[in-house]
Amino acid sequence: MSAGGAFGGTRGWRPVPSEKEVFPLDHMHQCDPEKKGYISCLKSSGNNSEKCRHLSKKYLECRMKRT
Summarised one tens digit per residue, pLDDT across range 4-54 is 555 666 666 666 655 555 556 778 899 999 999 999 999 999 999 999 999
pLDDT: which is higher, 66 or 51: 51
Q: Model's pTM, two decimal places?
A: 0.62
Q: Of the candidates 1, 53, 62, which has an alpha carbon nearest to the alpha carbon of residue 30?
A: 62
Q: Provide the sign of the torsion angle of the four alpha carbons 7, 10, 11, 17, taken in this order.
A: negative
Give the pLDDT score at 64. Answer: 86
